[in-house]
A and B are shown apart, each in its own frame.
Chain A
Amino acid sequence: MWDFIGTKLNDFITFTGFACGEWSNYIMILVGIFFIWLAVKKDFEPLLLIPIGFGIILGNIPFKSVGLEIGLYEDNAVLNFFYSGVKDGWYPPLIFLGIGAMTDFTALLANPKLLLVGGAAQFGIFGAYMIALLLGFEPNQAAGIAIIGGADGPTAIFLSSKLSPNLMGAIAVCAYSYMALVPVIQPFFMKMLTTRKERVIHMKPARQVSQTERIVFPIVGLLMTAMIIPSGLPLLGMLFFGNLLKESTKTTRLAKTAGSALNDIVVMLLGLTVGCSTQASEFLTADTIKIFILGAFAFAIATVSGVLFVKFMNLFLREGKKLNPLIGNAGVSAVPMAARISQNMGVKYDKHNFLLMHAMGPNVAGVIGSAIAAGALLGFLG
């Protein structure tokens, strides 16, 4: 009997995580703990970094695959079921539904030229695409990586799941990490590219926007974008649908659910499964390091192009109608973090200069812009 117990215990020990683990698993577990620390202690995007951090730990617990259907990539496993939302790309559109239901586009409608600022910041995506090609990535991989420059996690996941699924884990973690680091990355470039005089420009107060305009926006917005770029339909369709639920004022219950409970559920599952997908064997590669470097470039280029584009627009705008270049950084779709940075910078140089409302325009335009850019890349390469 003791022999039997000894054999079984010996077998059991070979199945434990300690016996199956490699040093790379422990590194990734430490990375997961670091993400959770960043979220809890430094308040960096806790809603995303806590699920992702925990997912990293979960996905890197080593085990012997003997058909127990427990692993992320094993058919019929619960985690695999959750992962289908990432793999098949249906979590990102649901998040866009929530974003649409929560986003107020009035700042943009009051001053529609801010749409163009949101477009200019998307150059971060294509700048990073060119650098990625230089680093030797295939065009489809380069596109998946470059979308990090849109500063939009769901869009990055959506596009990489379609174009470069093997890099999706690294791309998603990189996109969310840099989104959390927006307050660290952007102010340097904003300060470097603007003069003191430009930073204290007071923008013209926004006009009132009627209810009809707000209802028309999601319908016309969908038609004008999705008709040109149908490959962006899942993201754009859900974004504008969510916004219509909100603005119609007749479906408040639906908008509330899309923007709160449903969105929270999807964010939890998305974060957790994206974290799980960063298994050491897939994640600890030279490509991941390159992706993180490219991500930093993408964010920097997006910020620079947004700020420079506002300065360029100012060349054609008459006095009194000029834009404060500090809102240019908000062209990336990190809502509302990027707009908050514009506000903080504005107030820093002039305590009476409140840019938050003005910066929300390019910020929400950035959401639309990055979804269109993802659609364009998918259309060309998918």
Chain B
Amino acid sequence: MDVEVRLFATLRRGRFDRRPQPVADGCRLEELIRQLAIDPKEIAIRLVNGREAEIDHVLQPGDVVSLFPAVGGG
């Protein structure tokens, strides 16, 4: 199945902004992050379809996964 991965801020460096990503059925968020070769420590905020998700969240086909480093402002 495919999910859409969106990366932001410093996570984009040397990677990509957004792309479809093939993953195995029943793939958990942490497995996807490993597959993308991103150090989990670099990620501060994980959203699946705009909602905060734990690392053991099981992905569904077509899910939009948005990953952010620590960000702030205002």
Q: Do A and B come from one complex?
A: no
User: Which B residues are closer than 8 A to A by beta carbons?
Assistant: none
